[in-house]
């Protein structure tokens, strides 16, 4: 019997639970909020046998849990991850802030010692973008540049974190090291409609995960854009793409003697896409999706842990489809 726990019942967490309930081979799905009433309300709304659980201050889990999906705020993520690893439970997190990712990767040794797997960055970017980059790298003989752009936020907590990320110093990977640069101006990035062309800022989050998943890469950048909505904005003036998320993964390298580029992307409702990625990652950790790859103990990013083709195929079966971006890429 396979049992999983979803902690954090915002927009992304609820959609993660929905994905896990719909996964063949998973027998029990617990949903955990901070209060019994909120957990019970979500479990009843999901139907299909979701079971409520209250996440207490001492971070107790139901018995015999095979994997945990975490969609809690980044500030609370490390405590849940520590508790999971102590009990030998595999853990996947959607947190996309550098400090949260660093805290999860620091669990590598204890996770290996207890036979648990910790996956950091299981959302859009980092997460899906890293898998797309690895897939694109397989089309080329060698990769020397990776440029990822993400647009969209999943909910209020995600929006606040995006604003915080944009205020922090930007970084990029250059010649086998992280380069700390002064904040540079926005760049216009083209996504499919309804997102379209968006100004995206250079940020630090996810740069090192992409570099670790792309051996030999010389340069890595990550950019982030967010909807322009403000509170009390009249409905007629709201950003038409406010609910959407988009990822663009542009990979440069060599195919034979020719310089080549591959550009993949995804566009979907932000919380739907992030919840699907986290749900598939957690189902794989729990043993319900063995075709996605061999689960190895330790802590890493999603992009380096899974096999890109079966992972993307599973996402596609669930409605989150990657596509090749046609046109001329700009280095």
pLDDT digits (tens, 9 = 90+) for 232-244: 455 556 676 777 8
Provide the 3-class DSSP secondary structure of residue 31: strand
pLDDT of residue 170: 80
**How much is the average pLDDT of 67-87?**
93
Confidence band, pLDDT 50/70/90 cuts, at residue 75: confident
User: Rounded to an integer, what distance in angstroms lies between the CA atom of residue 273 and that of residue 123?
Assistant: 8
Answer whether residue 104 shows pLDDT above 80.
yes
pLDDT category at 289 given cuts 50, 70, 90 is very high
How far, in Å, CA of 225 to CA of 163, rounded? 10
> Greater confidence, 177 or 124?
124
pLDDT of 331 higher than 80: no
Give the confidence band of 330 by pLDDT, cuts at 50, 70, 90: very low
Are both 2-122+274-314 and 128-273+319-324 of the same fold? no
pLDDT of residue 322 exceeding 50: yes
**Which of the following CATH numbers is that of domain 128-273+319-324: 3.30.930.10, 3.30.360.10, 3.30.230.10, 3.30.460.20?**
3.30.360.10
- Summarize the confidence of residues 260-286 as an average pLDDT: 95
What residue spans define the domains of the chain? 2-122+274-314, 128-273+319-324
Residues 6+ apart with CB under 8 A from 41: none
Q: What is the rounded distance in angstroms from the CA atom of residue 125 to the CA atom of residue 23? A: 23
Cβ of 17: how many Cβ atoms within 10 Å? Answer: 31
| Mean pLDDT (the chain, rounded) | 89
- Domain 2-122+274-314 annotated CATH 3.40.50.720: yes
**Which residue, 292, 97, 284, 290, is CA-closest to 207?**
97
134-148, 229-243, 285-299, 310-324: least confidently modelled range: 229-243
Q: Give the per-residue pLDDT at 232.
A: 44
pLDDT in tens, 191-222: 887 888 899 999 988 999 999 999 999 999 99
**Percentage of the chain lying above the pLDDT 70 cut:** 91
Do residues 14 and 42 lie in contact, with contact meaning Cβ atoms separated by under 8 Å? yes
């Amino acid at each position: 019997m396979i049992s999983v726990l979803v902690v954090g019942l915002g927009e992304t967490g609820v959609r993660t639970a929905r994905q896990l309930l719909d996964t063949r081979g998973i027998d029990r799905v617990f949903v955990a909020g901070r209060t019994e009433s909120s957990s019970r309300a979500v479990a009843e709304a999901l139907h299909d046998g979701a079971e409520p659980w209250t996440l207490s201050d001492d971070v107790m889990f139901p018995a015999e849990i095979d994997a945990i999906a975490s969609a809690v705020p980044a500030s609370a993520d490390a405590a849940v991850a520590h508790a999971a690893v102590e009990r030998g439970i595999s853990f996947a997190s959607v947190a996309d802030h550098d400090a949260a990712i660093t805290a999860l990767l620091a669990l590598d040794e204890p996770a290996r010692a207890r036979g648990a797997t910790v996956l950091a960055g299981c959302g859009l970017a980092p997460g899906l973008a890293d898998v797309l980059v690895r897939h694109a790298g397989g089309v080329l003989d060698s990769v020397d540049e990776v440029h990822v752009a993400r647009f969209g936020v999943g909910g209020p907590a995600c929006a606040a974190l995006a604003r915080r990320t944009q205020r922090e110093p930007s970084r990029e990977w250059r010649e086998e090291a992280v380069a700390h640069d002064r904040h540079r101006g926005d760049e216009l990035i083209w996504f499919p409609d309804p997102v379209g062309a968006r100004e995206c800022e250079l940020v630090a989050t996810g740069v090192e995960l992409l570099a670790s998943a792309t051996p030999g890469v010389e340069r890595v950048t990550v950019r982030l854009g967010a909807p322009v909505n403000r509170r009390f904005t009249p409905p007629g003036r709201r950003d038409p793409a406010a609910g959407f998320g988009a990822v663009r993964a542009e990979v440069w390298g060599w195919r034979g003697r020719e310089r080549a580029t591959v550009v993949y992307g995804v566009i979907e409702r932000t919380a739907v896409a992030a919840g699907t990625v986290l749900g598939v990652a957690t189902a794989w950790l729990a043993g319900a999706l063995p075709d996605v790859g061999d689960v190895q103990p330790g802590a890493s990013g999603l992009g380096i842990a899974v096999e890109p083709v079966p992972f993307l195929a599973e996402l596609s079966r669930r409605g989150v489809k990657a596509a090749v971006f046609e046109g001329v890429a700009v280095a």
